[in-house]
Amino acid sequence: QVQLVESGGGTVQPGGSLRLSCAATGVVFRIYRTGWFRQAPGKQRELVAVLSSDGNTNYTDSVKGRFTISRDDAKNTVSLQMDSLKPEDTGVYYCNAHFGGPYSPYDYWGQGTQVSVSS
């Protein structure tokens, strides 16, 4: 059974930092494309950062230079280091693991972790 579990969310002041982690059972992250998505209140879920199986990264423009996605193959975890946080970064952050084409059934999500940036 596949399970992705996020941790590390919380409330932080603008300019602060948080580190999100995603631990997996039933999948091996290093062969999947992994990513972090977020959903703000009243908005659609959006891609924040993605890490390919061969180590390439990509970020949405609004977080470039502030967020870093990484993978620990020994621990089978994926992390998102978030620095210089802004109020517009507020939302529920979801971990995703995907293998194959766009319609592949091998697409898994965590339950989400809340990030709130507020003074």
Surface-to-core class of residue 39, CB atoms within 10 Å of its CB (0-12 exposed, 13-18 middle, 19+ buried): middle
Evaluate if residue 116 carries a pLDDT over 90. Answer: yes
Taking the C-alpha atoms of residue 50 and residue 117, their distance in angstroms, rounded to an integer, is 22
18: pLDDT confidence band, cut at 50, 70 and 90? very high
Please give the pLDDT value at position 101.
Answer: 86
The two tokens of residue 37 are 């998505």
The tens digit of pLDDT for each residue in 64-82 reads 999 999 999 999 999 999 9
Let me know: does 77 contact 23? Beta carbons within 8 Å.
Answer: yes
What is the rounded average pLDDT of the residues 38-60?
Answer: 96
Let me know: does 75 contact 60? Beta carbons within 8 Å.
Answer: no
The tens digit of pLDDT for each residue in 21-42 reads 999 999 999 999 999 999 998 9
- Which of 85-89, 90-94, 100-104 is least confident? 100-104
Q: Which residue has the tokens 């280091």?
A: 81
The tens digit of pLDDT for each residue in 93-113 reads 999 999 988 888 999 999 999
Q: What percent of the chain has pLDDT over 70?
A: 100
Q: What percent of the chain has pLDDT over 90?
A: 93
